[in-house]
């Protein structure tokens, strides 16, 4: 990386789109799976995994089997 590239503001933002949290998946995220581990997190704390349509159920089932799943909501990327 060149320091002058960091200062160049004329180029469009190249931030990649948020991806699914499933290992090896590079699909765009369409869901946010909210969870917490009650042994280490306060009850109101929510961790978020992003999921594509294909892996939403897999991630929910993984968290549900451990009693970590709290909610699933559509993911919208705010500009």
- Which pLDDT score, from 0 to 100, does residue 79 have? 47
Q: Residue 63 belongs to what domain range?
A: 17-74
Q: Is 65 left (phi over 0), alpha (psi -120 to 50) or beta?
A: alpha
51 belongs to a structural domain: yes
pLDDT digits (tens, 9 = 90+) for 8-56: 656 666 788 899 999 999 999 999 999 999 999 999 999 999 999 999 9
52 belongs to a structural domain: yes
- Which pLDDT score, from 0 to 100, does residue 10 have? 60
Total count of domains within the chain: 1
Contact 51, 35 (CB under 8 A): no
- pLDDT category at 64 given cuts 50, 70, 90 is very high
pTM (whole model) above 0.95: no
**43 DSSP assignment:** T
Rg (CA), the chain: 16
5 belongs to a structural domain: no
């Amino acid at each position: 990386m060149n320091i002058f590239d960091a200062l160049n503001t004329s180029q469009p933002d190249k931030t990649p789109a948020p991806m699914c949290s499933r290992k090896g998946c590079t699909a765009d995220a369409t869901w946010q799976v909210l969870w917490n581990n009650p042994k280490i997190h306060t009850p109101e704390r929510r961790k978020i995994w992003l999921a594509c349509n294909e892996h939403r159920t897999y991630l929910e089932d993984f968290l549900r089997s451990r009693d970590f799943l709290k909610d699933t909501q559509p993911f919208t990327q705010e500009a």
